[in-house]
Amino acid sequence: MNFAARRLPQLLLLALILAMTGPVQARDSRPAVDFSPPSTDSPRATIGSLFSEVERAFRIRAASDARNLVSLLGQRALALVDLDQVPPDLQIPLAVETVLRLYVILGRVDLPPLDEIPDLATVRRTELQRWMVPGTGLSILDSVIDDGVPRFRFGPDTPSIAAQLYPLVVDLPRRQGALQLDPYVVLRDGVGPWLTRLLGERERVVTPDWSRQRILDIPLWKILATLLLHLAGLGIAAMAIMLVRRGAGRRDGATRNRVFGFVLPLLLMPLAAGLRLAVADELRLTGPVLAILEIFWVALFTFGAIIFGFAMTRLAADLFIGLARLDKRPGDAQAARLVFRILGLVVAIGILVHALDRLGVPVSGIVTGLGVGGIAVALAAQGTLQNLLGGASLIADRPVRIGELCRFGDRIGTLESIGLRSSRIRSLDRTVVTVPNSDLAGMHIENFARRDRILLHTTLGVRYETTPDQLRAIVADIRALLIAHPEVAPEPARARFVEFGASSLDIEIFAYVRASDYNGYLAVREDLMLRLMDIVSRNGSSVAFPSQTVYLRRDPPDDLAGREAAEAKVAGWRKSGTLPFPAMESGTAGELQDTLPYPPEGSAQRPVP
């Protein structure tokens, strides 16, 4: 007892070590899982990989209770068969179905001995690119990848050939070492993992004899279950839509559209995804029926996605208009909604192209064809495209906004709307003028609504009887008026005596009226004109008008003294050689330069001596 008591700690430590090392050794004893891709560098490697991959999947299925053959084979089966032309969503199910049929076919036909099937050395020596499986019509083709390593896969026609050969060889004896069960039957008659757990079955579902009859190589009960699932799903969606319609019936049309824009996608998109999961993964439907249903599911999902895309763009437009505070600017709000509509159309086209790609439609070929045909369409619709781009230019550059008065060409009007093809302008006589967007974008547009001031530029003519001092007084009073008036900008307001007109002494008046509205400008202009009349009248003159005055009077006698003085002055210039013709002598010009007083005597700007 004393010995056991003394050795108890050591015994416990030894037991703990054994307990910890036991599981580790057990884990290490399990076979390692090989995740490397199947070998396909030669026909021999491809056939060997086909047998090993199917048997590997069933070993894993038996050891781990994993029942989903599609997920167990999946991409590994796709590496053995050339299905590049098949829609992406159907590639893996079709690859698994084809590989399982090939396993049965190649395990029952007379294959050559393994050492007679070409290997990698034979492929490189003979530059082999195609090998036919004797007596089957099956071909294994080489598709060289970028690194130059051969990649042999069963040809694109393999699914149809395997479907024809399978019923012919299924009753023949299998090769030695092959699986005791038919792997294709397990796939065809079995169900997915969830239904397997629910029904408690291992290999196939137990159903009445009549329900196991096959239509297009599919058990009848699977077809009926698929039909019931679709009827139930569509019925539930229809009832939900009716309830939503009834609930939104009292709302306005825009609100109903928003509600359906979000409710319909939330019904259709999960419905399509759920039906595909139930039928493809759980019922394991195969063949052409699955291909037809795939088109229906993609179309249903795409329809819901397009509606959801338009609903999101409308919501984004509403949020943008609210954040940018465009509610009180209908023109800008309309332009923003037009931009978001175009964005929604682009999103819808992108979703549609993605759906076509998922269905295996050669989108690149369609795009190329559209590019070639688009040239002819573009030439035929050149005017329409120009108008569309012109409308986009008007919206982006915004030389004039909705509700603004502008001059376009030789007409004046208020812009009411900008459409995809044309714009509508309300003219001054209240008619609606429709102008193509391309023409309007190319015009010189004068926007009256954005001016901060309006120019007043006119000429005031006074009678020739007005004396110079009267004219000075009138000009000075006009300048004072322009400076003092509160609705006239003092700079660069000016009034100048500019010309001796045909029947008047002309005073130019140039000033900016502080008004952006034309009616306000006319009121200020009227006030200034009346005040100008007061100034002219107050200074003893009057406004001139086009006239011709005839004076009847005797000519005054000649001023002989003045004439003799002028002649003597010119004679002196000739005698001294200083006659200022054709030009003044430079010395005399230098003496005269800047000798005239300016501003004139008495001017407020003249410095005091």
Tens digits of per-residue pLDDT, 564-597?
888 888 888 888 887 777 776 766 667 766 676 7
- How many angstroms from the chain centroid is the CA of residue 233? 34
Is the previous residue joined to 270 through a cis bond, with omega within 30 degrees of 0?
Answer: no
Confirm if 73 and 99 have CB atoms less than 8 A apart. yes
Q: Is the dihedral of CA 283, 287, 288, 292 positive or negative?
A: positive
Show the low-confidence residues of the chain (pLDDT under 50). 1-32, 203
Cite the DSSP H helix spans in 248-329.
253-276, 287-323
Q: From CA 593, how far away is CA 588, in angstroms rounded?
A: 9
pLDDT tens column, 28-82:
334 445 567 888 888 999 988 888 888 888 887 776 655 566 777 888 888 889 9
Best CA proximity match to 103, nearest among 50, 36, 141: 50
pLDDT of residue 76: 87
Q: From CA 349, how far away is CA 309, in angstroms rounded?
A: 10
pLDDT of residue 263: 79
Looking at the DSSP bridge assignments, the partners of residue 433 are 425
Residue 39: exposure state from Cβ atoms within 10 A (0-12, 13-18, ≥19): middle
pLDDT of residue 15: 45
pLDDT of residue 154: 92
Specify whether domain 382-447 bears CATH 2.30.30.60. yes
Q: What is the DSSP letter of 116?
A: G
pLDDT of residue 30: 43
pTM exceeding 0.85: no
* Tokens linked to 178: 């092959």
pLDDT of residue 3: 40
Provide the residue ranges of all domains of the chain, joining segments of one domain with +: 43-206, 220-380, 382-447, 454-538, 560-592
Best CA proximity match to 335, nearest among 397, 407, 242: 397
Best CA proximity match to 305, nearest among 257, 369, 248, 353: 353
81: phi then psi, degrees, rounded to nearest 5 = -130, 135
Is the previous residue joined to 113 through a cis bond, with omega within 30 degrees of 0?
Answer: no
Q: From CA 248, how far away is CA 596, in angstroms rounded?
A: 91
- Any residues with CB less than 8 A from the CB of 288 and at least 6 apart, and which? 216
Q: From CA 536, how far away is CA 114, in angstroms rounded?
A: 123
When the candidates are 3.10.560.10, 3.40.1190.20, 3.30.70.100, 2.130.10.10, the CATH number that belongs to 454-538 is 3.30.70.100
* Tokens linked to 161: 């050939």
- Any residues with CB less than 8 A from the CB of 191 and at least 6 apart, and which? 199, 201, 205, 282, 283, 284
